[in-house]
Structure 1
Amino acid sequence: MKTRWMDSPVGGLRLYVDAGLLTRIAFDAEPDGERDEDDLLDEVERQLTECFAGERREFDLPVAADGTEFQKKVWAYLRKIPYGETVTYGQIATDLGYEPGISRAVGAANGANPIPIVVPCHRVIGSDGKLTGYAGGVERKTILLELEQPGLF
């Protein structure tokens, strides 16, 4: 596994790649002076930088995340949410063929997403249109949504 730290509008990020796949992005990373050299890490950093600059709306990166089949279904759905748009936890449950009442399970899967930003879990909001929990903190969620749609929140 190779890693790299990068600065961003949502704080320090630690990028993780393994076997040619992006496997994790961690918030609250502290710079440590280490910088693994890797073509995929270069590409992840480039695409994230473009995203934060408003120059990229979709990511074209090979990703792999360990999780349950349910989590993987939710994470695949998240990748299809268009840039600048939001959906609710209940909407995801319904669209995946479940009862809306399973929205808490969708929220838990969303919170377990190991590749935030690239797998845009920040685009999921509460049924009342309000921002709800986010593994990286609601402040980061607000920043990410504002980058995509200024004045939204």
Structure 2
Amino acid sequence: MPIFMLISIPIAYYLKGYSWEESFIVGPLFNIGMFVVLGCLPTLIIHISHYWNSKDLRVFIDDEAGKITIDQDQTYQYNLESLEFTEHLALSKKRNEDGKFRILTPWSNYSYIKIKTEDNQEFTISSIVISTEDFPFEVNQKKYTLWPAIY
């Protein structure tokens, strides 16, 4: 946050024509506003999206029997070998795999797993239901997006 103060105060003084005293008042307000707009609102939207789409979802995994039971409006049970798992992660998570620098975002911890069955049904399990790190099975494919919302 201090680096942004160094930028926003001179911008307010030179570009917007505020006095130095006004710039020291406007600069922090601008930084707080940008933190809310760029940090809090997108995270809140993603969290509401994940919550709303997962509020009635129940997942039961039986490792020994090799079955997964998904309860959402109806109850479905599948063999784990017949399912295709696709993990949708935030782009910043890719840096752990390729060693490149990625900017962390407030919504970097949100992700979801899409399960596709043999009968072409798709289920989406959000990271607020079960963390992708705690998911007990290997995913077949990983996809990275800047905005990991569930649609």
Is the pair's TM-score, using the shorter chain for normalization, greater than 0.5? no
- Which TM-score band (shorter chain)? under 0.3
For normalisation by structure 1, the TM-score amounts to: 0.23
For normalisation by structure 2, the TM-score amounts to: 0.23
- Is the strand fraction higher in 1 or 2? 2
